[in-house]
Amino acid sequence: MTLTHKIVLYAALALLGLGLLIPGLMELVRTKTGTAFLIAENVEARNHLRALNGMMAGMGLAALLICLNLEAMRWPVIGLGIIMVGVVVGRVWSILIDGNPGGMTLFYLATDIGFAALFLLWPPPAT
């Protein structure tokens, strides 16, 4: 694996990992769930939202742990790429049925497409 390949993958995994772990943990331990943009109206919804935040934090931690032995983590990186494809499909479907979101959501969509493409098309080589 070339140095450029390593740097790009380490940077992407660190960005994804920290970008999921920190907000996921913050929302998980918050005493009041939801914000002005995502409000959980009842106990069931709050429980589901906390579980999603826990899953987001876990995925972020997994991305960071992959960095510990990147060369041997081809399939976990591909797995993250598959998950990111699911995120992209969800965002695109939401745009189609819920309407056109603001600029930040479109930025996140572009970022998610980039992560999915990177992890699926340029994972660590098979050893």
In a domain, 127, yes or no: no
Residues 116, 127: Cα–Cα separation, whole Å? 22
Of 18-27, 47-56, 84-93, give the lowest mean pLDDT range: 47-56
Query: Does 84 fall in a domain?
Result: yes
pLDDT at 31 over 90: no
Give the domain extent around 11. 3-121
Q: Hey, what amino acid is at 113?
A: I
For residue 34, tell me if it sits in a domain.
yes
This prediction has a pTM of 0.88
- Residue 21 domain-assigned? yes
State how many domains the chain has.
Answer: 1
pLDDT in tens, 73-120: 999 999 999 999 999 999 999 999 998 888 999 999 999 999 999 999
Q: Are 118 and 79 in contact (CB under 8 A)?
A: no
Residue 66 domain-assigned (yes or no)? yes
Share of the chain above pLDDT 90, in %: 72
**More confident call, 26 vs 63:** 63
The segment with the largest mean pLDDT, out of 45-54, 60-69, 100-109, is: 60-69
What are the start-end ranges of the H helices in the chain? Answer: 3-29, 43-66, 74-98, 103-121
Flag whether 126 is in a domain. Answer: no
Average pLDDT, the chain: 91
**Per-residue pLDDT reduced to its tens digit, 32-45:** 765 555 666 677 87
